[in-house]
């Protein structure tokens, strides 16, 4: 059996159902109308610093990975939510997660938790007061604590493993060569440093943020800390050295860890934007498979 849940949606100029392809065309048309906006900050799941975007990732993958990251309790198979994007007969999401236990009582409890978590998540996504991923961070920190801590630990460990390697890598001497489009904000923070020192500083800042004690720091401060961490991850991933890291290297492992973490920021921003374009009548349609009513 399946259950269907809808949520209120912020006002938007478009009220008709838009498949992903139409949504992407609408994005392009609106960018052409506003020539002052030079790029689409969502192209690579980032929102800053700005730069010329790489080839676009499939939007379906962005959306499904984002919802999976936000609703999964951990990385073990029995706790990962899979997402299907349906376009017919109307746009909707189907969520699925296998039951872990043979006990019917435990399954009922687990299913109820999943239903409540998904309901709260989509209510936050469509809330008119939700402006960016920072408004979703409290949900992730409190309702996805194990998952969030695991991703933090993996990023910190991967970067810690290459702390002594930065000086041995072939890093350009020019900051603009290492970061092909160094933003004004980033330049103000790091412009006086050599590229290798920027990489070391970013790596250290990310590790420091990742090691924060989530159980003792107030929520407002946690949001600030992780906002800076996401910003540093986005910038470090734009490094030429990181982008061209050879497979199976320590830098490649750190790159992969950060790429699995950032859907919780830029991916959420894109999901908010997508929902406000796609679902008519101020409702987001989704249903759970095998989770009862």
All structural domains of the chain with their residue ranges:
2-139+266-289, 146-262
- The tens digit of pLDDT for each residue in 29-49 reads 544 444 333 333 333 443 333
User: Where does the pLDDT of residue 170 fall: very low under 50, low under 70, confident under 90, or very high at 90 and above?
Assistant: confident
CA 133 vs CA 80, 149, 173, 226: distances in Å: 21, 17, 35, 11
Stated pTM of the model: 0.74
- Mean pLDDT, to the nearest integer, of 42-60? 48
Token pair for 189: 């923070």
pLDDT band of residue 13 (cuts 50, 70, 90) is very low
SS3 state of residue 246: coil
Instruction: Kindly report which listed range (19-23, 85-89, 260-264) carries the lowest average pLDDT score.
Output: 19-23
Return the closest-CA partner of residue 13 out of 35, 37, 29.
29
What pLDDT score does 280 carry? 64
| Rounded Cα distance, 111 and 105, in Å | 10
Which spans in 84-194 are helix H? 104-126, 137-143, 145-160, 175-178, 184-190
**pLDDT greater than 90 at residue 138:** yes
Cβ atoms of 150 and 200 closer than 8 Å: no
CA 210 – CA 156 distance, rounded (Å): 6
Higher pLDDT, 121 or 283: 121
| pLDDT for residue 1 is more than 60 | no
pLDDT of 103 reads 74
Rg of the Cα trace of the chain?
Answer: 20
203 has pLDDT over 80: yes
Does residue 293 contact residue 23 with C-beta atoms inside 8 Å? no
Judge whether 5 and 289 are in contact, CB under 8 Å.
Answer: no
Nearest to 20 by CA among 93, 69, 72: 93
Average pLDDT over all residues of the chain: 79
User: What is residue 10's predicted lDDT score, i.e. its pLDDT?
Assistant: 39
Highest-confidence segment of 5-9, 137-141, 182-186, 282-286: 137-141
User: Which among 151, 136, 20, 139 has a CA at the least distance from the CA of 80?
Assistant: 151
**Across residues 63-85, what is the average pLDDT?**
88
Query: For a pLDDT cut of 70, what percent of the chain falls above it?
Result: 77
For 265, phi then psi, to 5°, come to -120, -80
What are the residues whose beta carbons fall under 8 Å from the beta carbon of 124, sequence distance 6 or more?
130, 135, 136, 139
Q: Is 82 strand, coil or helix?
A: strand
pLDDT of 50: 42
Predicted confidence at residue 278, as pLDDT, reads 85
pLDDT over 90 at 128, yes or no: no
pLDDT for res 8: 41
What pLDDT is attached to residue 258? 94
pLDDT class of 22 with cuts at 50, 70, 90? low
Give which of 190, 217, 203 is closest to 257, Cα–Cα.
203
CA distances (Å), origin 181, targets 50, 54, 230, 238, 251: 7, 12, 18, 9, 21
Instruction: Give per-residue pLDDT as tens, 101-127.
Output: 667 777 788 888 899 999 999 999 988
């Amino acid at each position: 059996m399946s259950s269907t849940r809808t949520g209120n949606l912020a006002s938007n100029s478009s009220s008709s159902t838009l498949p992903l392809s139409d949504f992407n065309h609408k994005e392009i048309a609106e960018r052409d109308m506003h020539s002052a906006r030079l790029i689409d900050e969502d192209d690579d799941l980032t929102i800053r610093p700005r730069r010329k975007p790489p080839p676009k990732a499939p939007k379906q993958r962005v959306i499904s990975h984002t919802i999976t990251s936000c609703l999964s309790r951990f990385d073990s198979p029995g706790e990962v939510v899979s997402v299907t994007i349906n376009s017919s007969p109307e746009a909707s999401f189907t969520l699925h997660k296998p039951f872990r236990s043979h006990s019917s009582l435990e399954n009922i409890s687990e299913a109820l938790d999943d239903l409540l978590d998904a309901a709260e998540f989509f209510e936050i996504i469509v809330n008119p007061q939700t402006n960016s991923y920072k408004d979703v961070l409290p949900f992730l920190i409190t309702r996805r604590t194990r998952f969030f801590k695991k991703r933090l630990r993996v990023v910190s460990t991967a970067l810690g493993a290459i702390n002594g390697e930065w000086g041995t890598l072939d890093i350009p001497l020019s900051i603009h060569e290492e970061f092909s489009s160094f933003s004004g904000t980033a330049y103000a923070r790091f412009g006086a440093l050599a590229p290798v020192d920027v990489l070391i500083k970013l790596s250290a800042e990310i590790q420091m943020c990742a090691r924060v004690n989530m159980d003792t720091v107030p929520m407002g401060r946690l949001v600030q800390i992780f906002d800076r961490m996401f910003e540093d991850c986005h910038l470090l991933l734009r490094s030429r050295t990181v982008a061209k890291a050879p497979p199976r290297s320590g830098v490649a492992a750190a790159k992969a860890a950060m790429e699995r973490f950032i859907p919780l920021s830029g991916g959420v921003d894109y999901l908010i934007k997508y929902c406000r374009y796609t679902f008519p009548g101020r409702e987001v349609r989704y249903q759970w498979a095998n989770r009862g009513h």
